[in-house]
Amino acid sequence: MGWIQRLLAIDRRIIFLLVFLGVAIPLLVPVNLPVTPTPRVRAAYEAIDALPAGSTVLLSMDYEPDIMAELLPMSVAVIRHCFRKHVHVIAMTLYPAGTGLGERALTTAAQAEGAVRNRDYAWLGYKSGFQVVMIGIGENLRGMYPVDFYGTPLDSIPVTRHVNRYSDLQMTINLSGSSAADYWIQFAQGRFHSPLVLGCTAVMATDYYPYLSSGQVLGLIGGMKGAAEYERLVGIFGDARRGMDAQSLVHVIVVALVLIGNGALFASKRWGQGPGPR
């Protein structure tokens, strides 16, 4: 077997090791690669930044632990931005396993910015039924959430006391890893005309570009890169910016592997060693 054949038949455990090192080393030794905000993320930041102090936003964190690497840092950055602007946050989730993450994002941001539960934010927790909840909030928030996550009636919470529908809110923010984002666009924005900012995973982001250019979505934060850009705009160095170092290196490794594979394939054809294993 020639060296080209050996290269094409490389043991996948070597590839796994390269990826592992590509992830681990930048996380252990941060490089702090540059992050330049893109127009979509800047638009999201500016929409939230333009809210006057004392405004109230509805934040739905519709994701579960499988994609927390992308959306948890994004949530923390967005909530911290709201707290810095003295914007009240009413947070909720449409996923049963999202309650722990939503609560973690709120407490992390609150500790960092000195915000206080019920005074600066409220945590409503989980409610089943995507569209029903979204439409229900447009009719009567208390019909969907009579009490918050801890069992306190909404009328007893300063942040929620005067809020009962989208028209009482200045903005809806949806950070989602699923089709929940489609429904927020259809109902919160389309039907109830609530200004909407979206955050989603990187693979989902391009699905929502049309809504951005149509003006239905004010800004879009896509994936860990979007979260890192948002952190940069807010002026914090969080998990997203740390993660981008690792993501950059892994992308380089994958591209190098693809180029090596194609180079070896080309060489094997040229020098008659066969196409090699697929």
Q: For other proteins, which residue of 140, 156, 167, 179 counts as binding (CB under 8 A)?
A: 140
Q: For other proteins, which residue of 3, 24, 139, 153 counts as binding (CB under 8 A)?
A: 139
Nearest Cα neighbor of 240 from 74, 129, 32 is 74
Q: Are 23 and 250 in contact (CB under 8 A)?
A: yes
Candidates 12-20, 48-56, 76-84, 109-117: pick the segment binding other proteins (CB under 8 A).
12-20
Q: Pick the closer one to other proteins by CB: 149 or 230.
A: 149
Candidates 29-37, 50-58, 80-88, 112-120: pick the segment binding other proteins (CB under 8 A).
29-37
Nearest Cα neighbor of 63 from 217, 221, 235 is 221
| Number of Cα atoms under 13 Å in the Cβ half of residue 236 | 19
Backbone angles phi, psi at 139, to 5 degrees: -95, -50
Per-residue x/- mask for other proteins, residues 197 to 236, rule CB under 8 A?
-----x---xx-xx--x-----------x--x--------
Q: Are 265 and 5 in contact (CB under 8 A)?
A: no
Closest CB 49 distance from other proteins, rounded Å: 22
Query: 172 - beta bridge partners?
Result: 58, 196
CA angle 174, 181, 113 (to 5 degrees): 15
Residue 197, SS3? strand
**First CA to last CA across the chain, in angstroms?**
16
Residue 274 near other proteins by CB under 8 A: no
Q: Pick the closer one to other proteins by CB: 51 or 229.
A: 229
Nearest Cα neighbor of 184 from 164, 208, 202, 149 is 208
Residue 278 near other proteins by CB under 8 A: yes
Candidates 74-82, 113-121, 157-165, 253-261: pick the segment binding other proteins (CB under 8 A).
253-261
Q: For other proteins, which residue of 149, 166, 184, 230 counts as binding (CB under 8 A)?
A: 149
> Can you tell me the distance from the alpha carbon of 10 to that of 267, in angstroms, rounded to the nearest whole number?
16
> Can you tell me the distance from the alpha carbon of 168 to that of 114, in angstroms, rounded to the nearest whole number?
25
Candidates 82-90, 113-121, 165-173, 254-262: pick the segment binding other proteins (CB under 8 A).
254-262
Site for other proteins, rule CB under 8 A: 10, 12, 15-16, 18-20, 23, 33-36, 38-39, 64-69, 97, 99-101, 103-104, 107, 127-129, 132-133, 135-136, 139-140, 143-144, 149-150, 191, 202, 206-207, 209-210, 213, 225, 228, 244-245, 247-255, 257-262, 265, 277-278
